[in-house]
Amino acid sequence: MERHQYPLYLAPMEGVGARPFRVAMAGIGGFDEGCTEFIRVPKNAHCKSLAKVYQADELGSIPLAAQVMGSDPELTAQMTLELILRGAPRIDLNCGCPSNKVTGRGAGSSLLKDPRHLYEVASAMCKVSTVPVTVKLRSGFDDTALFEDNLLAAQEAGAKHIALHPRTKKEGYKPPAHWSLIKRAKEILSIPVIGNGDILTPADAKRMVSETGCDGIMIGRGAVINPWIFHEIRGMQCKNFAELKTYLETFVQHLPEGMRSKNGVNQLKQLCGFLYRANERLLEERTPMLRTPYIDIADFLSKNLPILENFCI
């Protein structure tokens, strides 16, 4: 298999992709950089619990970028500084989150409605930052009318790269992701373009790079379905059951206090809801796995590990 020559990013994912997943993924490795899920910029930009949401060494030797979600340039810039003080090697601006709770306040994908506003927030961050500032965006809010203006706004603001999930906010996660827009972004920007969206196999990664010319790729759901996807893109086959067991145990160990009992089972069901899509044999077991009432985490693991062994054979 051809070796990859481009950086591989683990996508920010709120919920399923939070710290327990990221740390478990770092145990498997293969990606060049991780990123936190969005960190909301609070009204006074001083987030008391920032230490809880951002720890620079969370992934050991793998750098962890911090993603911010804000709409006020000054407050978002202040938050950028706070995260740099905590050791963040890169700060990413979220211009994609579709949640109405978020967009209602003008942040996330709402920034895509007004390239000038996107520029102001991103440039306020770039002006104060001593580390690279990047922008992760969707292709638009309701449509792609402002797509190119938004890309150029990010570049002019000083973003060091953009990561593009080529769907509008309105499209949500409806397939397909429009990879042709990644190609278009490459044509009009001089900064690197990281392609994202619907990469589920090493072949998808290869096809995205050849079809779009993107400078790197970012994988979200594909990594939850197959935690070895980054290694496989690098031409290595290293799925093994012992590592999968450690992956699940690491996930459990890093669940927040209070989630290690009943709630922890729900977290594991969510994670395994993805894993069980990894092959046909597992897919058959997905609904029973989700419906079974487990007593606790140990019960979940003892019933599911033998099934998951199938994933590695």
Ligand X SMILES: Cc1cc2nc3c(=O)[nH]c(=O)nc-3n(C[C@H](O)[C@H](O)[C@H](O)COP(=O)(O)O)c2cc1C
170 vs 302, beta carbon nearer ligand X: 170
37 vs 72, beta carbon nearer ligand X: 37
For helices 241-253 and 262-275, the axis angle rounded to 10 degrees is 140
Q: Does 110 bind ligand X (CB under 6 A)?
A: no
Shortest spacing between CB 175 and ligand X, in angstroms? 9
Which residue of 37, 82, 120, 204 would you call a contact of ligand X, by CB under 6 A?
37
Shortest spacing between CB 205 and ligand X, in angstroms? 10
Which residue of 21, 67, 115, 144 would you call a contact of ligand X, by CB under 6 A?
67
Q: Does 178 bind ligand X (CB under 6 A)?
A: no
Tokens of 227: 């935690």
Which residue of 2, 5, 15, 190 would you call a contact of ligand X, by CB under 6 A?
15
Closest CA to 132 of 183, 72, 88, 188: 88
Q: Which residue has the tokens 């009992």?
A: 261
- Asked if 97 is an active-site residue, the reply is yes
Q: Does 221 bind ligand X (CB under 6 A)?
A: yes
Q: Which of 35, 47, 97, 126 is catalytic?
A: 97
Select the residue whose beta carbon is closest to ligand X and give its number: 220
Which residue of 41, 75, 159, 199 would you call a contact of ligand X, by CB under 6 A?
199
Distance from C-alpha of 196 to C-alpha of 234, rounded to nearest angstrom: 17
Q: Does 109 bind ligand X (CB under 6 A)?
A: no
Which residue of 4, 19, 90, 136 would you call a contact of ligand X, by CB under 6 A?
136
Which residue of 109, 110, 168, 196 would you call a contact of ligand X, by CB under 6 A?
196
Which residue of 30, 34, 70, 96 would you call a contact of ligand X, by CB under 6 A?
96
Q: Does 13 bind ligand X (CB under 6 A)?
A: yes
Q: Which stretch binds ligand X (CB under 6 A): 92-100, 202-210, 231-239, 246-254?
A: 92-100
Distance from C-alpha of 118 to C-alpha of 163, rounded to nearest angstrom: 15
169 vs 184, beta carbon nearer ligand X: 169
Binding site for ligand X (CB under 6 A): 11-17, 37-38, 67, 94, 96-97, 136, 165, 196-199, 219-222
Active site residues per annotation = 97
